[in-house]
């Protein structure tokens, strides 16, 4: 029994359409896979960039810690200098008292003048300490503060010389 030509054509068309749909699906799957692969690549790239950023942040953090440690070191040195100067100052006051106890006469006037000297010296030290604290808080002001510290140190040395002169006069 021979099929009608129309039915044969219909079957042929059906098969063709099926094949086309299959091809289309395969292409779609391929495209989907490609896109997926691209997304995976992009994600990998992002991951690498993130790792790089993390490393950079770590390096910056370490550098910052180093800077902080250096500042802390400067701060501690300054504190040490402060403590030493205060000790020296008390020693100086004791020496002055002893000298005046030994001399005996006309002590009061000189003692007052020297007490004022010591007080001024102490104030200068306190100011230096305050400046150091500021330095630790903002290490961008480093240069200006260093200059001020040098000036204060010079003033302190002048005052020390002044005290020595007073002693020489006594």
Give 113-162 pLDDT, tens digit per residue. Answer: 666 666 666 676 667 666 666 666 666 556 666 666 666 776 777 666 76
Measured CA to CA in angstroms, residue 121 lies from 63, 94, 124 at distances of 37, 15, 5
Instruction: List the domain boundaries for the chain.
Output: 79-170
CA-based nearest residue to 131, from 149, 119, 147: 149
For the stretch 65-119, pLDDT in tens is: 888 888 888 878 877 777 777 777 777 767 666 666 666 555 555 566 666 666 6
Q: Determine the Cα–Cα distance for residues 83 and 52; give it in Å rounded to an integer.
A: 46
d(Cα 88, Cα 86) in Å, to the nearest integer?
Answer: 5
């Amino acid at each position: 029994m021979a099929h009608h030509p129309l039915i044969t054509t219909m079957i042929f068309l059906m098969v063709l359409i099926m094949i086309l749909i299959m091809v289309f699906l395969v292409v779609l799957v391929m495209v989907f896979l490609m896109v997926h692969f691209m997304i995976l690549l992009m994600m990998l790239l992002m991951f690498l960039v993130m790792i790089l950023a993390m490393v950079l942040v770590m390096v910056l953090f370490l550098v910052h810690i180093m800077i902080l440690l250096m500042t802390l070191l400067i701060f501690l040195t300054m504190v040490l200098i402060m403590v030493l100067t205060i000790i020296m100052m008390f020693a100086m006051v004791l020496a002055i008292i002893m000298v005046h106890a030994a001399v005996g006469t006309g002590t009061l006037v000189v003692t007052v003048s020297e007490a004022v000297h010591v007080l001024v010296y102490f104030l200068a030290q306190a100011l230096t300490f305050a400046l150091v604290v500021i330095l630790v808080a903002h290490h961008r002001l480093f240069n200006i503060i260093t200059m001020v510290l040098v000036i204060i140190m010079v003033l302190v040395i002048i005052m020390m010389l002044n005290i020595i002169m007073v002693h020489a006069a006594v």
